[in-house]
Amino acid sequence: MLPIITEEITTEVFSEAFQDVQAWRKSMVQYLKEENPEINSAILEVAKYDENIDLKAVALGAYLAYRLVETATESENTSLED
């Protein structure tokens, strides 16, 4: 089951990402290459299916979703430890 993504988590992740979208996206590419290379490869595979898709926009959305779920999971795990 996926964790609950609260408004607080959304605000936190969006403020982190939208300070400098290009730099954040590039840092997420590097992060996922190390943390979860299969997810990173899956995100980049999208470009092979339709030349009209903006790969950077798709990647940004996917990285945002990944980071939201990851942050919510960390938050839930911290709550369980308390």
Residue type at 26 in one-letter notation: K
- Backbone torsions φ then ψ of 74, nearest 5 degrees: -60, -40
Q: Coil, helix or strand for 2? A: coil
Residue 2 has pLDDT above 70, yes or no: yes
CB 33 within 8 A of CB 44: no
- Please state the pTM of the whole predicted model: 0.86
Tens digit of each residue's pLDDT (9 = 90 or more) over 24-81: 999 998 999 999 999 989 988 876 777 788 888 888 999 999 999 999 999 988 877 6
The per-residue pLDDT for 47 is 65
The per-residue pLDDT for 76 is 87
CB 5 within 8 A of CB 64: no
The per-residue pLDDT for 58 is 86
Long-range contacts of 39-46 (CB under 8 A, 24+ apart): 39/66
Residue 11: pLDDT band (50, 70, 90) is: very high
Q: How far apart are CA 17 and CA 79, in angstroms?
A: 24
